[in-house]
Structure 1
Amino acid sequence: MLRVTVLGSGSRGNAMLIDGTNGAVLVDAGFGPRSLARRLQAAGRHANEVAALLLTHEHTDHASGAAAACARWGWPVYGSAGTLDALGTASDAASRPLDARAYVDGSATTVEGFLIETTSVPHDARDCRALVITDAHSGARVGIAMDVGRVPDHLPAAFERLDVLVVESNHDEQMLAKGPYPWILKQRISGGLGHLSNGAAAAFVGRCAHRGLRGVLLAHLSETNNLPALAIERTREALRRAGWTRDAVAAASQQLPLPPMTSSGDTARVVRAPQLSLGF
């Protein structure tokens, strides 16, 4: 069975734990080691159980904790060649992970019982990637599209036959338009190299819907320009139109880990929340 635990997601940091039959990997490390350790503990896990770090891209809310976490726990870090190059040329030597390994383009990268397939997506980073992670033993698949300015034509095909889908649903279109951000930032967010709106994310999810899809996790919600209820309702509407009859849709929080979602659609396990208000 494959299990996805979003440890936190938003503009102030992103990380999620993927558990498979034979191991666990972390996707993105936008929090420092202390915060990551507390979030893992709240989810009933320990950093020593993580075999590797997989990066979607180099932006600080996804990779600022990568080097320190990898140094502390001995994780190798995987990323696109562009992402690793961006980290490697950072002016701050502390942001350069020591054991950096590039994804195998055009084929699957094998990491601790997982097969990792990546797809380039438009974002204002060096080479941002969407990930499809397959548990090699069970065949269960999770697709992760975190920072996507627009959905390229090739992405829905890459995300076929998923068991769990994680996709950013960053902003409500009207809230962004009427909100406090300066015009240039609004243009960056809503442009083709920024972030997906609720409507764009919902349309993409609808295209990925099929009978075997067990659950959808919405990530990277803006705390200023979105509300979980708005994002969830837009996605549920798209899923209903696509004929999907399940109700396993959840929105990730910046502050607290979500209960895990499994390849069976189960989210019953309770995340422990005490003492999470400090240091996040």
Structure 2
Amino acid sequence: MLGSGSRGNAILVDGSAGSVLIDAGFGVRTLAKRFDAAQRNPGDVGALLLTHEHVDHACGAAAACDRWSWPVHASAATLAAVNVQASGAPGIVAVLSPQGATSVCGFTVDHFPLPHDATDCRAFVLTDEGSGARVGIVLDAGHVPNGLAGFLERLDLLVLESNHDVEMLANGPYPWPLKQRVGGGEGHLSNEAAAGLAAAVSHRGLRSVVLAHLSETNNTPELAMSTARSALRKAGWKRDSVMAALQRLPLSPVQADGSVGRPASTQLALGL
């Protein structure tokens, strides 16, 4: 997790045969610094996957792809929306298959539509084609739509938006229209909604849950993690590997087995 929040999102996923970046919501200089802080080389990334076109997810896409020669993979609607933004159109693009999975850098990439006020926001499941390890990524959603839990079945790792605490949002400093947008059906997931989804997809093989896109105004990592842990324990999940991604700094690498920290070898079957 190179950084996650309303001011930028980027997730590096390593597989047994390659690496991909999910979203480029930072400028090129900031991305380069985040890669350096994570002791990684952006030149090793094989492709960029975009969840949607909002600036905190895509503002760096064109410049980063030009600098590091990344192809951009996204839905046709997201690519069309990115192409008309002020940051410019990426040079190399590929449309994700609308009907099935797409193979990208050694991953099988499946996607699922999310209710968000973007053109075509998507959740991703990346399955490492060498090992079968699976990571699910849900970054922006106003509510949990029917079918999403099924889409996220049999995961090893789950990255899940847990944007706001309902009471903090209601009593916080945001103007009323922004409160309505964030808490509405096409805004962002609350801690409670995220915890319910995490509990619904938990199973014995789920190794770790990383909470993402936390509001720095309407949430705290402690609140988000305690809410998720409570729901997961009630669902019978026996592990305690719940962590929160930060806006300002990369998170320590999370391996497919749920352990945290850099592996002894360069790459494992799956890590982020």
Task: Report the TM-score range of the alignment, normalised by the length of the smaller protein.
Answer: over 0.9
Aligned pairs (5 A) from 1:129-140: 129-140=122-133
2:32 is matched with which residue: 33, 37, 40? 37
Structure 2 residue ranges without an equivalent (≥5): 264-272
Please tell me whether residue 150 in structure 1 is matched to residue 143 in structure 2: yes
* Partners of 2:151 and 2:249 in 1: CA distance: 30
> Runs of 4 or more off by more than 3 Å in structure 1?
none
* Partners of 1:9 and 1:117 in 2: CA distance: 22
- Please report how far the alpha carbon of residue 150 of structure 1 lies from its aligned counterpart in structure 2 after TM superposition: 0.6
2:64 is aligned to 69
Please tell me whether residue 242 in structure 1 is matched to residue 235 in structure 2: yes
2:78 is aligned to 83
1:176 is aligned to 169
2:101 is aligned to 108
- Please report how far the alpha carbon of residue 100 of structure 1 lies from its aligned counterpart in structure 2 after TM superposition: 1.3
2:190 is aligned to 197
* Partners of 2:69 and 2:239 in 1: CA distance: 40
Q: If the length of structure 1 is used for normalisation, what is the TM-score?
A: 0.93
2:224 is matched with which residue: 231, 245, 265? 231
Partner SS state of residue 162, structure 1: coil
* Partners of 2:141 and 2:78 in 1: CA distance: 15
Q: If the length of structure 2 is used for normalisation, what is the TM-score?
A: 0.95
2:244 is matched with which residue: 220, 239, 251? 251
* Partners of 1:102 and 1:7 in 2: CA distance: 25
2:205 is aligned to 212
**1:221-276 superposed Cα distances (whole Å, 9 cap, x missing partner):** 00000000000000000100110011111000000000111110110339xxxxxx
- Please report how far the alpha carbon of residue 99 of structure 1 lies from its aligned counterpart in structure 2 after TM superposition: 0.8
1:18 is matched with which residue: 13, 28, 35? 13
- Please report how far the alpha carbon of residue 162 of structure 1 lies from its aligned counterpart in structure 2 after TM superposition: 0.2
* Partners of 1:97 and 1:222 in 2: CA distance: 29
Partner SS state of residue 137, structure 2: strand
* Partners of 1:81 and 1:70 in 2: CA distance: 18
Structure 1 residue ranges without an equivalent (≥5): 1-5, 271-280
Please tell me whether residue 261 in structure 1 is matched to residue 258 in structure 2: no
Aligned residues: 263
Partner SS state of residue 161, structure 1: coil
* Partners of 2:105 and 2:194 in 1: CA distance: 30
* Partners of 1:215 and 1:65 in 2: CA distance: 28
* Partners of 1:113 and 1:199 in 2: CA distance: 34
